Structure 1
Amino acid sequence: MDLRSARFAAAFTLATLFAAPALADGVVNVYSYRQPDLIKPVLDAFTADTGIKTEVLFLDKGLEDRILAEGQNSPADVILTVDISRLTNAKEKGVTQALDDATVNANLPAEYRDPEGHWFGLTKRARVLYASKERVGDEPIAYADLADPKWKGKICMRSGQHDYNLALFAAAIAHWGEAKTEEWMKGLKANLARKPEGGDRPQAKAIFAGECDIALGNTYYVGLMQTNEKEPEEKEWAGAIKVVFPTFENGGTHVNISGAALAKNAPNRDNAVKLIQFLSSHKAQQIYAEQVFEYPVEPGLEPSAVVKGFGTLEADTLPLADIAKNRKAASEMVDRVGLDDGPSS
């Protein structure tokens, strides 16, 4: 059995195990793209407050298809995932239902909620620059500056088709329009030090190794590297970089979210709503954000000490639903420009 088949079998087994008690009182079933250890503290806090137990099914892919296959008998109550693309994909595939809840709406700013109530942002992460402490000064850097020839041969990034970069490019389209964004992307491509590859953390490694001076990355990876006791070399990578918050012309830095959605056929709907209400609360946002090195979405709620150490985030207020509308155009643009082919193509 290959790895993919093994994971699918494991997922099916877990789903079967808790499908039977799905209608029992005091239970809420969570389907998650987030690693169980990342969400356990906040789910434990929910159980401590309400007495409602949580059962978690983790999948690294195919979550929406799994719920579709289960149909009306799906035990899924709440979906937890990251990135606006995955949240909107769940909505588009028809595995979520609308929730118009006064408590949730009051806790979460409108720009981090689906206008139709199909998903809710709980914590946010910024798409920033990792910059060499040794080779990059303290001058501010805007997103537009990434196309400046002064950075030729000095930028690293992961694939332009990755969800994190597509969201940034979609935001650029929302701010600048397609024509200007495409010219900018051509400039970004010309400034790459190498063909896009790896994840966000390997970009910090490349800066540490002197292969490039700046790289696109998410804020929370810096926290993960700084605190990685199992792989101490990552602490060295993190030690070689500083976080720079690039901005659009409105002075805001692009952010994405970790979020939740109410499953379409939630058998424990009342408990599911209670969980989403709790996850939107001041207390839960602090627990969750600290665990995953992200920022609470509640205005004025302080991030953890580690996250504060990155610097001050002034988040772009562009509604994430507007960004999601440009995702397809952004993906097509990446291919048209040949961004993933690297600088010499």
Structure 2
Amino acid sequence: MRVLRTTSILALLTSTAFGTAASAQEEVNLYSSRHYDTDERLYSDFTEATGITINRIEGNADELIARMQAEGANSPADILLTVDTSRLERAKDAGVLQSIDSDVLEARIPASLQDDDNQWFGFSQRARIIFYDKTRVENPPLDYLSLADPQYEGMICHRSSTNEYTQTLLSAVIENHGEEAAREWAQGMVNNFARDPQGGDTDQLRGLVSGECDISISNTYYFSRALRSDVEGLTEEDRANIGWIFPAQNAEGAHMNLSGGGVAANAPNRDNAIRFLEYLSSEQAQKYFSAGNDEYPAVPGVGLSPSVAALGMFRPDDVDLSAVAENVPTAQRIFNEVGWK
């Protein structure tokens, strides 16, 4: 990481992210795998503040990365936004991102939430925590490694090994506990599955409601969303029967999944792209991530929405996510070895 020059953060945000409005002809081309209607407010406010028009192409992260590779030097992409550290690192390895210098991002985004080469930065987080049925589980696991305990045999629902959240979680276990402990954990998880891995995070919560499993792992924003509405198909009674644990509070802390982005390697509007990323680190934008999509802000000290705050305070794992991303190939090998489908 670069050493931050002594500069007023407020001044930087004002002059860089919310500076003099650009001409109406200025634009920035955004390739995004975030598909949340609530992000519309982020885009419209940025355009209103700067005059820079945002042109969007949305799609699957891997497809967008492949598209940027195929477009090469002629790619119109200025920014790639995606979910999870593994995908951000995949984009870096594919050569579709570039290093940037930004005092604003260095000041606002914690070092553990940005790439060592400044090619990507995290802007919001989701805690990946343990959920359980309070009517059937008296002694829920208090950390990730305990999920592999034989006492939970046949009780756990989880996503497949091809899912990026699953890959990043095992990668973090490797970083925090070593490869041998990670392999033992993965094998224990396979032994304790109530069903073959399947579905998304919401399906893991629904597995608790249906009785198909007693314990599951999910990102917090799915459950926070359910606390404020019936959008996840969970009734008030269902929600009342679901308990949650922020794991490893006496050890490494709760694992965090990251949503972030970087400037495209061949960005035709590079300066505008950097301004947009700096805007995403502003307090205004950070509050949108929490209020609009029930995520945790990446910038420390930004207030949480009521549905997120309702889950309670916890200590997150502050492991370097750039190091975690490098463990993904090892994690995939372990999945194959233990038969995690």
Assess, with a 3 A threshold, how the Cα gap between structure 1 residues 260 and 210 changes in structure 2: closer, same or farther.
same
Secondary structure of 1:70 counterpart: helix
**Partner in structure 1 of residue 194 of structure 2:** 193
- Indicate the residue corresponding to 2:309 in structure 1: 308
* Cα deviation 1:202-253 (Å, max 9, x = unaligned): 1111111112111011111113334455664576654542321112763411
Please, which moves more after superposition, 38-47 or 132-141? Answer: 132-141
Equivalent residue, structure 1, for 2:294: 293
Contact 1:33–1:81, Cα closer than 8 Å, also in 2: yes
How far apart, CA to CA, are the structure 2 residues paired with 1:100 and 1:207?
Answer: 46
Structure 1 partner of 2:332:
331
Moved more, 210-219 or 233-242: 233-242
Counterpart residue number, 1:28: 28
Displacement of 1:25 in angstroms is: 3.4
Asked if residue 126 in structure 1 is aligned to residue 155 in structure 2, the reply is: no
Structure 2 counterpart of 1:175: 176
Question: Contact 1:201 / 1:221 at 8 angstroms: preserved in 2?
Answer: yes
TM-score (norm 2): 0.88
**Do residues 56 (structure 1) and 56 (structure 2) align?**
yes
Distance 2:236 2:26 in 1: 42
SS at structure 1 position matched to 2:54: strand
State the Cα distance separating 1:45 from its structure 2 match.
Answer: 1.6
TM-superposed deviation, 1:94: 0.8
Summarize deviations over 1:140-191 as a string: whole Å, max 9, x none.
Answer: 6111111112211111111123110110101111111111111122222211
Aligned to 2:281: 280
Distance 1:188 1:138 in 2: 17
Decide whether aligned partners of structure 1 residues 24 and 71 sit closer, same or farther in structure 2, where only a CA change above 3 A counts: farther
Q: How far does residue 193 in structure 1 lie from its aligned partner after superposition?
A: 1.1
2: distance between equivalents of 1:177 and 1:36?
36
Distance (whole Å) between structure 1 residues aligned to residue 317 and residue 231 of structure 2: 34
For the structure 1 residues 36 and 221, does the alpha-carbon distance in structure 2 shift closer, same or farther, using more than 3 Å as the test?
closer
CA contact (8 A) 2:24 2:52 kept: no
Letter paired with 1:193? A
Deviations 1:119-153 (A, max 9, x none): 00000111111111322347661111111122111
Which segment is superposed worse, 219-228 or 86-95? 219-228
- Structure 1 unmatched runs, 5+: 1-22, 341-345
Match of 1:17? none
Q: Which amino acid aligns with 2:34?
A: R
Shift of 1:283: 1.6
Change (3 A) 1:36 1:56: farther
* Secondary structure class of the residue paired with 1:225: helix
Measured in 2, the distance between the counterparts of 1:68 and 1:306 equals: 39
Instruction: Provide the TM-score with structure 1 as the length reference.
Output: 0.87
2:41 is aligned with 1:45: no
- Whole-Å Cα distance in 1 between the matches of residues 110 and 218 of structure 2? 24
Per the alignment, residue 96 of structure 1 pairs with: 97
Q: 1:132 to 1:288 in 2, by over 3 A?
A: same
Range with greater deviation from structure 2 (120-129 or 66-75): 66-75
1:339 match: secondary structure = coil
Question: 2:321: which partner in 1?
Answer: 320
Amino acid paired to 1:201: T
Q: Does 1:203 align with 2:228?
A: no
Q: Report the equivalent of 1:159.
A: 160
Q: Distance in 1 between matches of 2:29 and 2:163?
A: 29
Aligned AA for 2:258? I
With over 3 angstroms needed to count, the CA separation of the structure-2 counterparts of 1:318 and 1:177, relative to structure 1, is same
State the one-letter code of the partner of 1:71.
G
Contact 1:129 1:243 in 2 (8 A): yes
- SS at the partner of 1:62? helix
Q: What amino acid is the match of 1:210?
A: G
User: Matches of 1:137 and 1:214 in 2, distance apart?
Assistant: 11
Is the deviation greater in 175-184 or in 115-124? 175-184
Give distance in 1, aligned partners of 2:58 and 2:236.
28
| Seq. identity, % | 39
Shift of 1:82: 0.5
State the Cα distance separating 1:313 from its structure 2 match: 2.8
In the alignment, the residues of structure 2 paired with residue 263 and residue 244 of structure 1 have an alpha-carbon distance, to the nearest angstrom, of: 38
Partner Cα distance (1:57, 1:139) in 2:
43
Q: What is the identity, as a one-letter code, of the residue corresponding to 1:306?
A: S
Distance 1:140 1:169 in 2: 17
Judge conservation of contact 1:155–1:213 (CA < 8 Å) in 2.
yes
Cross-structure match for 1:253: 254
- In 2, the alpha carbon distance for the partners of 1:282 and 1:56 equals 23
When structure 1 is superposed on structure 2, of 304-313 and 117-126 the one drifting more is: 304-313
Deviation of 1:39 (Å):
1.9
Match of 1:115 in 2: 116
Distance in 2 separating the partners of 1:265 and 1:24: 22
Q: What letter is aligned with 1:88?
A: E
- The alignment status of 1:271 with 2:272, answered yes or no, reads yes
Aligned counterparts of 2:232 and 2:317: Cα–Cα separation in 1 = 33
Q: Which runs of 5+ in 2 are unaligned?
A: 1-22
Which amino acid in the other structure matches residue 302 of structure 1? G
